[in-house]
Amino acid sequence: MAEKKKNTRTKKTAPKKKAATPRRQKSSPLPKATADAPSSSGRAPLYLLIILVLLAAIIIMANQYFTGGQGKTGNRDTTDIKTSHKTQAADGGISSHDKKNEEQGIRVQKTAEPEKKESPQPIESRMKIYFLRVDDRSERVSLVPITRHIKGEASLERALGELIKGPNSTERGKGLLSAVPSNIRIRGISVKNGIAEIDFNEAVEKNAAGSILLNRLDQIVYTATEIEGIRSVIIKINGRRKQTFGSDGLSIGGPLHRRQ
């Protein structure tokens, strides 16, 4: 009986030993947690200090970029800014490049584009020059005014130049002729008090006699007096004022006027 009681005691106490073991295992993490708590709380100020230092460095770098770096960017883009002004629209629009510079804080100076001046149209003048026409029935020679359109202002020199050229193919087809030879050269022209002094070379009086000589003078005088401000003509030959003209000795001492 005594042995049975001992066995029962041992059976009763065995569960107690097993129950004691789990309690020790549950209580073991608590000391570790309490041991780590002081170390994590000690590192928190260090992390905070590192974060503040990084933020300060970022702020300093950003400030240097937007202040000191702005001048470099402006100098580098000076050419681009000038070029962008040329691409602006006529209504004063801003190009995409200028908008980008303004967004970055770069001041873009707008310059007014010069106004485009239209090139003036060339002046066109009309001049009357005189040719001859022979009537087939009566064989009478008459002066015929022809209008020539030229570029530029009308002048006595240009009118006489057109006269020396003679009638063109269309005018010759209409029966127009000229008694003024094509080898005549103008040496000088001066106009004073309504009188035009015209200096020709010697060709002006060669091979001229009778009606041809008169018709040649008429063509010169009538063409010259079509220019505004000219009423009469004095003819010179190689710089000398002559009293007679041609082989017939036609008197030309005074200023020549229109005969009609």
Top-confidence residue, 147 or 40: 147
Please give the pLDDT value at position 22.
47
Please give the pLDDT value at position 125.
86
Rounded mean pLDDT, 63-78:
57
Average pLDDT over the chain, rounded to whole? Answer: 75
43, part of any domain: no
Model pTM score: 0.54
State which amino acid sits at residue 252.
Answer: I
The half-sphere exposure of 77 on its side-chain side, counting CA atoms within 13 A, is 21
Tell me the range of 52-56, 107-111, 119-123 where mean pLDDT is highest: 52-56
Please give the pLDDT value at position 20.
47
2, part of any domain: no
pLDDT band of 55, cuts 50, 70, 90:
confident
Q: Are strands 250-251 and 244-245 parallel, antiparallel or unpaired?
A: antiparallel
201, part of any domain: yes
178, part of any domain: yes
Please give the pLDDT value at position 136.
85
151, part of any domain: yes
Output the CA torsion 164→169→175→178 (10° steps): 10
Please give the pLDDT value at position 139.
85
pLDDT band of 60, cuts 50, 70, 90:
confident
185, part of any domain: yes
pLDDT tens, position by position, 177-196: 999 999 999 999 999 999 99
13, part of any domain: no
pLDDT tens, position by position, 91-112: 444 555 555 555 555 554 555 6
For the chain, the helix, strand and coil percentages under 3-state DSSP, each to the nearest 5: 45, 20, 35
Give residue 188's domain range.
124-251
User: What is the number of structural domains in the chain?
Assistant: 1
- Give yes or no for a contact between 212 and 179, defined as CB atoms under 8 angstroms apart: yes
Percent of the chain exceeding pLDDT 90 equals 37
